[in-house]
Structure 1
Amino acid sequence: MHIDLSAKRVIVTGASRGIGRATAAAFAREGVRLAICSRNPDTLSAVAEDMRVLGAAEVIAVALDVRNTAAVRAFVNQVAETWGGVDVLVNNAGQGKGGSLETLEPEDILDHANNIQIAHFRFVQAVVPHMRAQQWGRIININALAGALPTPDGIPSVTNRAAGIALAKLLGQQLAKDNILVNSLNMGWIDTGQWDRHYKEMPPSISREEFLEMVVKVVPLGRFGRPEEVANVCLFLASDLATFLSAASIDVSGGLQGAIAYYPTLKREMQEMGLERQATLEAASAA
């Protein structure tokens, strides 16, 4: 089987790094007309040039904030008017946010929602009229496994990703009659910059290798996923090989399922071990 996407007009949000950049690159190699956005204009300009080198037929790159409804609509309309329509939308922008009942304000959850499922809704609402006009469309919403299998930590990420998955399922049913297929990809442990952020929460006595070994303990495949592996699933869902798949919730997680609930416990145990180790080292140094 051969996936031929060369005639497609594709939008990828949050395309400046990580999963978004890898997904944009995968589509570029297919020779699509590619529209990308992110908040950083300097980074985005460099990514756009990379996409041209990789083989994208044309590239539109616009710096915008996915929380800005007017900016989102203007971007989508620019793409549709320039290329005569939109075929594929990959809603990737947004990242996780931690916090507990004791540390969060209600507004923190609302602000995170505005970057996740509400941003997904904005882009879907903007592209659907163009997809309906041609009676063809593919929408892929990037979510997180924690939304499908809640963990006992990180209220904003768990609740807003769960809402994002529900939104994709609802839209996948509602828009199927227009031949617009909507699916959710739920990320497990993908090797992106977020793990650098998580590692910084560890005491200095914990090595990066120890931390990463702990993280993948709950993954049956025993490793992180690569952004390119997520991109491959996006290519499939955007193709004519996935014509009877809509309202699906697909875990891209290396087999990780219920064990995700143990990760917060493992992380706390490692933090405590690191603090104890650090105290021992300081005591020995002072002796």
Structure 2
Amino acid sequence: MDLGLGNKVALVAGGSSGLGLATAKELAREGAHVAIGARDRGRLAEAERAIKEVARGRVHVTSVDVTDRAAARRWVDEVAADFGALHIVLVSGGSPQIGTASQFEPAEYQAAVDGVLLPAVSLALAALPHLRAAGWGRLLFVASETASVPVARLALSGVARAAIVRFAQSLASELGRDGITVNVLAPGTTRTPPVERAAAKLAEGGDVEARLRVMGHHNALGRLARPDEFAAVATFLAGERASFVTGGIHLIDGGASVVGPELPHLTAARKDTYT
């Protein structure tokens, strides 16, 4: 299936590992020119090699802290200038601490907003002039299942991701006639490096693979998602064939939302297990 991504320019924030890297690789495989940004230079170098192994277009790598709004805007402008256009923006970042709503102080809510919501808003606003100039665009926000389904132990995530949803839906209403679609991806637990590290903490020296299996058992498929499964959905939404899909929250949770919130990997975890 041709997704119409040949020679499109894609910018992927958080593209050095996990969901961001998986999506960057898939976009590159489909023929897009791909620019990734993240803070860790070592991971960026590894990611660059992995993307170039499958890329049909150019690959651009930048060390950038997207919580620095000025730096994030410079990065977006530099990518658009270097490639001559910008068409696709995927914003993937970190996750806040876990815990119930009353466990956190206002400063921790502020940190979640600063670390999750505002970088997404800043990058999107920085990209809009370039997407409008191209007359074609895809804005994709990586949230989590908490963007759609309440999870009591993920209070900070729910607050920040719900705000991203409303921001994205407002943008979708505003930008549709400019040829720009806006969508939110809401993955369930996926086997990414942070999840593997969390499993190691929870295993406390025991069987990490067994812990990972437990973390995946609560959905209808009975396993963790793979990053490439997420990337397949993201890349479809970035393509020409998804031209009438906008303003949506797209659950990629293996049916967890229809099974129910039995989440032992959260109830037994400390605040910092996933950070």
TM-score normalised to structure 2 length: 0.90
| Partner residue in 1 for 2:4 | 4
> Within the alignment, does 1:120 sit opposite 2:120 as a pair?
yes
Residue in structure 1 matched with residue 27 of structure 2 by the alignment: 27
**Where in structure 2 are the equivalents of 1:193-208 lying within 5 Å?**
193-202=193-202, 204=204, 207-208=207-208
Q: Which residue of 2 aligns with 1:190?
A: 190
Distance 1:200 1:8, change over 3 A: same
Could you say which residue in structure 2 is the equivalent of 1:14? 14
Count residues with an aligned counterpart. Answer: 270
> Equivalences for 1:31-70 in 2 at 5 Å?
31-70=31-70
CA distance in 2, matches of 1:262, 1:232: 27
Distance 2:197 2:210 in 1: 15
1:51-130 matches, within 5 Å, as: 51-101=51-101, 103-130=103-130
Offset at residue 116 of structure 1 (A): 1.6
Q: Which residue does the alignment assign to 1:279?
A: none
Cα offset, 1:196, TM superposition: 2.6
Contact 1:146 1:260 in 2 (8 A): no
Query: Deviation string for 1:54-97 (max 9, x for gaps)?
Result: 22421221111111111011011111111121000011122242
Aligned to 1:213: 213
Q: In 2, Cα distance between the equivalents of 1:119 and 1:41?
A: 19
Go from structure 1 to structure 2 and tell me whether the alpha carbon gap of 1:269 and 1:8 turns closer, same or farther (over 3 Å shift).
closer
Greater CA radius of gyration, 1 or 2? 1
Aligned to 2:233: 233
Which amino acid in the other structure matches residue 126 of structure 2? A
What amino acid is the match of 2:161?
A: R
Match of 1:202, SS state, is helix
| Equivalent pair of 1:169/1:249 in contact (CA under 8 Å) | no
Corresponding residue for residue 135 of structure 2: 135
State how far apart, in whole Å, the 1-side matches of 2:141 and 2:200 are. Answer: 28
Q: Percent identity?
A: 28
Report how far residue 205 of structure 1 moved: 7.8
Deviation at 1:142, TM superposition (A): 0.6
Distance, in Å, in 2 between the alignment partners of 1:52 and 1:91 is 21
Residue matched to 1:281: none
Retained in 2: the 8 A contact 1:99–1:155?
A: yes
CA distance in 2, matches of 1:19, 1:53: 18
Equivalent residues of 1:149, 1:258 under 8 A apart: no
Deviation of 1:161 after TM superposition, in Å, equals: 1.4
- The alignment yields a C-alpha RMSD, in angstroms, of 2.1
Report Cα offsets for 1:163-209 as digits up to 9, x if no partner: 12222222111211211100001011211122233324436386334
**Is this contact kept in 1: 2:6–2:30, CA < 8 A?**
yes
In structure 2, the residue corresponding to 1:48 is in which secondary structure?
helix
Question: Matches of 1:223 and 1:187 in 2, distance apart?
Answer: 13
The residue type equivalent to 1:151 in the other structure is V
Change (3 A) 1:268 1:68: closer
CA offset digits 1:234-260 (Å, max 9, x no partner): 111111101111101110111110545
TM-score, normalisation: structure 1: 0.87
Give secondary structure in 2 for the equivalent of 1:261: coil
Where do residues 128-167 of structure 1 align in structure 2 (5 Å cutoff)? 128-167=128-167
Q: Is the CA contact (8 Å cut-off) linking 2:203 and 2:211 kept in structure 1?
A: no
| C-alpha displacement of 1:217 | 2.5
Partner amino acid, structure 1, of 2:84: G
Match of 2:243 in 1: 243
* Distance change >3 Å, CA 129–CA 198, structure 1 → 2: same
Contact 2:101 2:156 in 1 (8 A): no
Aligned equivalents of 2:77, 2:148: Cα separation in 1: 32
Q: Which moved more, 1:213-222 or 1:63-72?
A: 213-222
CA distance in 2 between partners of 1:178 and 1:102 (Å):
42
The secondary structure found in structure 1 opposite 2:217 is: helix
Q: Which moved more, 1:148-157 or 1:208-217?
A: 208-217
Instruction: State the alpha-carbon separation in 2 of the partners of residues 19 and 187 from structure 1.
Output: 9
> Does residue 224 in structure 1 map to residue 224 in structure 2?
yes
1:114 Cα shift? Answer: 1.8
Letter in 2 for 1:218: H
